[in-house]
Structure 1
Amino acid sequence: MPFVRIDALGADKDRLEALGRAVHEALGETMGFPPDDRFQVLTGHDGTSSTLRYDDYLGVRRDDGVVYITITLRSGRPPEQKRALYRRIADLAHEYAGTEPRNVLIALTENESIDWSFGRGVAQYAPGD
């Protein structure tokens, strides 16, 4: 049920696939999501017609290998689990896609069961009358 968006500067199809796999596996390992629970939007930016902007916020020196990962999921996970997720994503992004951990920016957004529909116009997690 997590919805993942990955935006990467200068990423080809193979790098995007590797980043998607890294996030998907990390979600499974740290939060217990099943293998068939994959909803991802993978977007590469060429730096000309589309690009990503970044600075060295909080002393993290980023470069053109930057990757922005946004994950939307239902609320309720403890901080320790979120920290484990961030670490595992950074590790696997480095292993699978060669992305330096300093270039991995992750934003987690939580919502409630009623905020999801997986098709057919139905709120599967919060059925009505």
Structure 2
Amino acid sequence: MPLVRIDSTDAPLDLLERLGQAVHDALVEAIGIPTDDHFQVLSSGASRVIADPGYVGVSRDEHAVIVQVVLRSGRTVEQKKAFYAAVAAKASAAGVEPRNVTIVLIENELEDWSFGEGIAQYLR
């Protein structure tokens, strides 16, 4: 179960929703998550995103967004690279310049999830 968080300083909510769908579609396509495994937090406005405009040779502008994906460990480097590429392609189609999308994957284990009721459902 990936949990996706997308933060932006100024993106309208409809743009973040399109980017969120693009990220979800990329997770389904490149990582193989189920289509109904869809949990996201979209944040814009009150937050402030600071992204160096030239870090590692990528030219970002004031419309930078940060995408954090918390997911179970175990994906291959190839799957992760395919995911990054898929997000870039789908972000562009959603109206977000790929150069402005920073992605970080945060991996954890099955015991690190509860979907409610105070139960670790994955440990059943």
**TM-score (ref. length: structure 1):** 0.91
**Is residue 79 from structure 1 mapped to residue 77 from structure 2 by the alignment?**
yes
For 2:4, what is the secondary structure of its paired residue? strand
Aligned partner of 1:51: which letter?
R
Report Cα offsets for 1:106-128 as digits up to 9, x if no partner: 0001001100001111001113x
CA shift, 1:32, in A, is 1.3
Aligned residue pairs: how many?
Answer: 123
Matches within 5 A, 1:1-129: 1-45=1-45, 49-55=46-52, 56-96=54-94, 98-127=95-124
**TM-score (ref. length: structure 2):** 0.94
Task: State the alpha-carbon separation in 1 of the partners of residues 60 and 118 from structure 2.
Answer: 41
Task: State the alpha-carbon separation in 1 of the partners of residues 108 and 21 from structure 2.
Answer: 23
Task: State the alpha-carbon separation in 2 of the partners of residues 109 and 50 from structure 1.
Answer: 21
Task: Please tell me whether Structure 1 or Structure 2 has the larger radius of gyration of its CA atoms.
Answer: 1
Q: Which runs of 5 or more structure 1 residues have no equivalent in the other structure?
A: none
For 2:63, what is the secondary structure of its paired residue? coil
Aligned partner of 2:10: which letter?
G
CA shift, 1:50, in A, is 3.1
Aligned partner of 1:126: which letter?
L
What CA RMSD, in Å, does the superposition of the two structures yield over aligned residues? 1.0
For 2:123, what is the secondary structure of its paired residue? coil
Task: State the alpha-carbon separation in 2 of the partners of residues 65 and 90 from structure 1.
Answer: 15
CA shift, 1:34, in A, is 1.4
Q: Which aligned runs of 4 or more in structure 1 are off by greater than 6 angstroms?
A: none
CA shift, 1:9, in A, is 2.6
